[in-house]
Structure 1
Amino acid sequence: LCFRDTVNTVYLSDYLEQNLQVLRQWRNNSSAYDWKPTIKVIKRSEGCSPATDEELNETEEKARAAVKRGGIMYANVHDSPVVPGLKDRQVDILVTIFTLESACQTYQEYRQCILNVVRQLRSGGRIVIGSVLEDDSYNSGNQVMFSLLSLTEHQILDALGSAGIDLDSVKKYVLNDDGVLFLMATKR
């Protein structure tokens, strides 16, 4: 949704088949789930005034069309290529939000996964990462949803630099109270 006005083609990927199925249902407009509240949050974070239902539908359809031009594909950050369906193609923008720290158990494994991901990004392309900082679990209320590899901002940046990301290009936003880092950077 966030890149609907920026790119023509979007590829969505996930490791779990049930998540891929949810994405396919959304793409095919056959999902019973109402995405409007999520779209409202995204539009609000983009600085838009409260959107009408028609505007929300237009936003969703624009995003859906970009995904239809691209695709929905299996991904495994431990493999290279991460998204085998892309074959040898590299992408212009790669987004991973709260994924890598939940897929890895050691820092060395994390570094390898970052390298695998960055290999599918073209030189000059942008990577956008959202990551939990210095926490070993993701919680919803009192319930632990899944375990995380506890990472510092320094470790994340070091792994990115080693994988070919230009650290001078990093733009970051850290929510210290929430232990969350968002960053965007360019591949050398």
Structure 2
Amino acid sequence: MDFTGGDIYLSSFDPKAYLTSFYSAGSERDNIVKFRLQKLHETFGPGGISGDVLIDIGSGPSIYQFLSACESFPHIIATDFTDQNRQELEKWLHNDPEAFDWSKIVKTACEIEGKSRDKWEEKQDKLRSRLRKVLKCDVTESNPLGPVEVPPADCLTTSFCLETACKDLEAYRRAIHNITKLLRPGGHLVVLGSLGNTYYTVQGKNFSCLPLDEDDVKGAVTQAGYTIQSAEVFQISDRMAQLQTADSVANIVLVAKKEAENVTG
């Protein structure tokens, strides 16, 4: 199988096709998306993590990861490596009619949060008011946001980014060290990731991923100076595996707290 990766994202990755394949409600992926939304609600819902500034690392063209966080963080910063993903986010942020339609997933998030599905437009409006910036990010750099200055984050989130940006486990560990510099001591890191994933497919193109297991993720986070507070794994069903859009065996949602004296080597 011929895999593409690295700089190919800059020229060949189609964000709208990716979203249609992986986030169109009513697809076989509904259970995976519901798992993520449920875990995010548990993380950021009443009694959960809250603060002033949340920075999302490698947002891609997606907004689902912010749907619960926007209730607890008034300043959200999205980031991504590619121009086209940032442009897709900007389209949604400015209510462009050509943007991907997230309404069904937003309705599901409302339902999970115990709200009426009819409140979905209010939810979108709140997120749009709190998503303050969309910045370029490169997790392989010591300063992932480059020359742009941002306040220290109270929370960092990253969803299915690091395993696509890193070629090996050592690079994955370095990436976590790099992004950790953006987080204040005592702040939280929330990682959503794939386990056992070597590729995913968008419009017939195979984009490579770093296959990780649960211990790889936990070890990298701990090594970066965090205390893990929770980690939950969602196993991918055989039926889901037969879709052939990715070869993940599971998803993981991990929450960790940065220690006051963090190792950032």
Could you tell me how far 1:143 is from its partner in structure 2? 5.3
Deviations 1:36-82 (CA, angstroms, capped at 9, x unpaired): 11212322333444x11xx1111001000001xx2110011111221
Instruction: Give the Cα separation in 2 of the matches to 1:84 and 1:120.
Output: 11
**Does residue 164 of structure 1 match 2:212?**
no
Identity over the aligned pairs, expressed in percent? 28
Opposite residue 174 of structure 1, the aligned amino acid is: V
User: Secondary structure of the equivalent of 1:4?
Assistant: helix
| Superposition map of 1:94-173 within 5 A | 94-139=156-201, 145-167=206-228, 170-173=229-232
Equivalent in the alignment of 1:91: 153
Cα pair distance change 1:29/1:85, threshold 3 Å: farther
Equivalent in the alignment of 2:102: 35
Equivalent in the alignment of 2:87: 21
Task: Normalising by structure 1, report the TM-score.
Answer: 0.87
Decide which of 152, 166, 179 is 2:250's aligned counterpart.
179
Opposite residue 222 of structure 2, the aligned amino acid is: G
Opposite residue 232 of structure 2, the aligned amino acid is: Y
User: Secondary structure of the equivalent of 1:80?
Assistant: coil
Structure 2 gap segments, 5+ residues each: 1-66, 237-248, 260-265
8 A contact 1:81–1:87 mirrored in 2 = no
**Does residue 61 of structure 1 match 2:125?**
yes
Instruction: Give the Cα separation in 2 of the matches to 1:107 and 1:62.
Output: 37
**Does residue 75 of structure 1 match 2:142?**
no
Could you tell me how far 1:3 is from its partner in structure 2? 1.0
Cα pair distance change 1:145/1:61, threshold 3 Å: farther
Instruction: Give the Cα separation in 2 of the matches to 1:3 and 1:139.
Output: 28
Q: Which moved more, 1:17-26 or 1:170-179?
A: 170-179
Q: Which moved more, 1:176-185 or 1:14-23?
A: 176-185
Could you tell me how far 1:157 is from its partner in structure 2? 1.0
Task: Normalising by structure 2, report the TM-score.
Answer: 0.63
Could you tell me how far 1:84 is from its partner in structure 2? 2.8
Instruction: Give the Cα separation in 2 of the matches to 1:99 and 1:145.
Output: 16
The two structures, once aligned, show a CA RMSD in angstroms of: 2.0
Aligned residues: 180
Could you tell me how far 1:146 is from its partner in structure 2? 1.8
The structure where strand makes up a greater share of residues is 1
8 A contact 1:22–1:31 mirrored in 2 = no
Could you tell me how far 1:85 is from its partner in structure 2? 5.7
